[in-house]
Amino acid sequence: MKAMQLAAPGTPLVAADLPVPQAGPGELLIKVRACGVCRTDLHVVDGELTGGKLPIIPGHEIVGTVVANGAGAQRFATGARIGVPWLGYTCGACAYCVRGRENLCDSARFTGYHADGGYAEYTVADQRYCFAVPAEYDDVAAAPLLCAGLIGYRSLVMAGDGERLGIYGFGAAAHIVAQVARHQGRRVFAFTRPGDAGGQTFAKALGAAWAGDSSAKPPEELDAAIIFAPAGPLVVHALRAVAKGGVVVCAGIHMSDIPAFPYDILWGERTLRSVANLTRRDGEAFFALAPKVPVRTMTETFSLARANEALARLRAGRIKGAAVLVP
């Protein structure tokens, strides 16, 4: 099969011809129909996230068709369309797993990081972590739901139910979360890279009440803010933007250092927290909700061979909505 593989952090992905993997016990062999390109893939490729498998096939927003079932893997029939997310394995036995916080499992393994992912024609996945994909979405439209959607949704839940929601970094996750937030009756305040007029127009088209530069003060205090961009200084901007009792959620897996800030901007019972990974329950909840909003994803498609170009455009902030690879 054709695949795009990372041999070493900081180097481009290399096109490889590899044997089609085999589904082990409890696993499914999946023909990849579409695979979203997530900011986390860029952290892996750029070496900001280390400790994964090398070489690795990235990609954890996979929509595909089951083509073979490993021993005992009967949850999805051959031919079924399924989604494979970032969460690829949990132990089921640690203190986090038994308390419903499998996203924090000490032994968790992640797709496209510890196990080969979807930048390939085929992949295998543990059936327990796969999702049925709502019929309302075609393969490309569904791909960004698998991480930008799921972890974006978890971040929105963690932000509480405040009405005025700030979103810092208006990429794939933000464009989905903004639609869900509007559906919930919230007002969205979008913060983009300074001077990114295109991004601000895009945010307003998705219903944002206001859009401006990330360093700008919004026209009114916010109840909560979610930070999707991996830039530590945004934490300080967001804390200054939220009202007393407000919540600032850092939604990414990696962020540059947060500058020192005066205690005064945290005082007043403001909360600063991160969101890590997803649970399967998040996925079930989001996939039930998305068609009702209905969430519509905006995508830009690339062939598998153009994966490096998709990553470069994402790094430069030049993707409107989400990039999706189509093998």
Contact between 115 and Zn ion by CB under 5 A: the answer reads no
CB 300 within 8 A of CB 173: no
Query: Where in 132-191 is the site for Zn ion (CB under 5 A)?
Result: 147
In degrees rounded to 5, what are phi and psi of residue 256? -65, 165
- C-beta closer to Zn ion: residue 91 or 326: 91
- C-beta closer to Zn ion: residue 27 or 102: 102
CB contact set of 312 (below 8 Å; sequence gap of 6+): none
Q: Among residues 18, 67, 68, 94, which is the contact residue for Zn ion, using CB under 5 A?
A: 94
Contact between 91 and Zn ion by CB under 5 A: the answer reads yes
Q: Which two tokens stand for residue 171?
A: 């990429």
Contact between 87 and Zn ion by CB under 5 A: the answer reads no
Contact between 34 and Zn ion by CB under 5 A: the answer reads no
CB contact set of 103 (below 8 Å; sequence gap of 6+): 87, 96, 154, 276, 277, 278, 279, 282
- C-beta closer to Zn ion: residue 105 or 115: 105
Query: What gap in Å lies between CA 54 and CA 7, rounded to an integer?
Result: 6
Least distance from C-beta 108 to Zn ion, angstroms?
Answer: 7
Q: Among residues 38, 87, 124, 190, which is the contact residue for Zn ion, using CB under 5 A?
A: 38
Least distance from C-beta 285 to Zn ion, angstroms?
Answer: 18
Residue with tokens 């579409």: 34
The count of residues interacting with Zn ion (CB under 5 A) is 8
Q: Among residues 30, 105, 115, 322, which is the contact residue for Zn ion, using CB under 5 A?
A: 105
Give yes or no for a cis peptide into 55 (omega within 30° of 0). Answer: yes
CB 34 within 8 A of CB 63: yes
Contact between 97 and Zn ion by CB under 5 A: the answer reads yes
Footprint of Zn ion (CB under 5 A): 38, 40, 90-91, 94, 97, 105, 147
